[in-house]
Amino acid sequence: MTSDIHGLHHTGLLTRDLDGLERAYLSFGFALSPRSRHLLNTAPGEPPVPGCTANRCALFGGAYIELLGIVDDSAPDPWRTRAMADEYEGFRLLNLETDDAGAADRRLTGAGLRTSGVLDLERDVDTPDGTRTVRARAVHLDPRATPEGHVGIAQHLTREYVHQPRYLDHPNGARALEAVLIVADDPVFEEVTARYAGMVGAAPRRRGPVSVLDTGAARIEIVRGSDAGEALPGEPAPAPSYLAAMTVRVDDVAAARRIVEDGGTATRETGGGFFVSARDAFGTTLFFA
């Protein structure tokens, strides 16, 4: 594995109905951080400005699921979130984790990938000691080269303000974001797999129709579009290539399933767990294992 990328940083669900997205994930038994407005910069070195988005997060101490909403259409949109939502809403963002965004950017550009350069992100959050500013650095890959979604590398500068212990105790027993599953259109499957293998420095292994890349404590899983029905039975396909599913590790699968179903959402059993359809989880198939 490379030294500058070592796991999942976060996944992102994008919507114009942040209220509805919050209600759904609370009903699934996730504890969520309070809503927080984003401050974003438009180019490396420029000061962050209030953007059009806000979020709440399901935090696990390592990676997290970001519930990202467009909350002010009149506000600046330096990261072109509105255009992303206009294309389609759902699981649109995947960020891998690094401790050195600059090094990751240099390596990726050296490998021929076009990037945004290193961008700064800030948002104010409540802590037991009062309001503090979360700061992070991010490198976005050129979305024209990532047909499956908007992919980036992210670096915590103030991890302690994000993964606060009081938000890590989930009623459904969630402990980790364990995997993401990407559907790649057949003609670009090899290219997509090779790109992620190069990014994380891992050789793919096969598990049935799925190619698996192990990165830190998590996995990136990639499946051909023609095999997606085997991995995601009955699930919708919003695009030829897309970010399709997340796997959340829980303490007790049966207890988590009861919470989800008691909250009014149907589930389907899988080997070793269950899943919630993307139709109910705002655009991602959500596996619990």
Q: What is the DSSP secondary-structure string of 114-140?
A: -EEEEEEEEEEEEETTEEEEEEEEEEE
Strand ranges of the sheet holding 268-270, from the earlier edge strand across to the other edge: 205-207, 210-215, 218-224, 174-184, 242-250, 285-288, 273-276, 268-270
**Structure tokens belonging to residue 251:** 């303490």
Average pLDDT over the chain, rounded to an integer? 93
Query: What's the confidence (pLDDT) of residue 38?
Result: 81
* Tally of CB atoms within 10 A around 142: 11
**How many angstroms separate the Cα of 73 from the Cα of each of 53, 79, 85, 233?**
9, 13, 12, 36
CB atoms within 10 A of CB 97: 21
Tens of pLDDT, residues 153-206: 999 999 999 999 999 999 999 999 999 999 999 999 999 999 999 999 899 999
Alpha helices (H) along the chain: 18-27, 81-87, 101-110, 159-162, 189-200, 228-231, 253-262
**Residue carrying structure tokens 């599913």:** 245
Domains of the chain: 8-167 (3.10.180.10), 174-288 (3.10.180.10)
- Confidence grade of residue 1 (pLDDT, cut at 50, 70, 90): very low
How far apart are alpha carbons 133 and 199 in whole angstroms?
A: 29
Tokens found for residue 154: 């992210």
Q: Is the pLDDT of residue 5 over 60?
A: yes
Rg (CA), the chain: 18
pLDDT of residue 43: 66
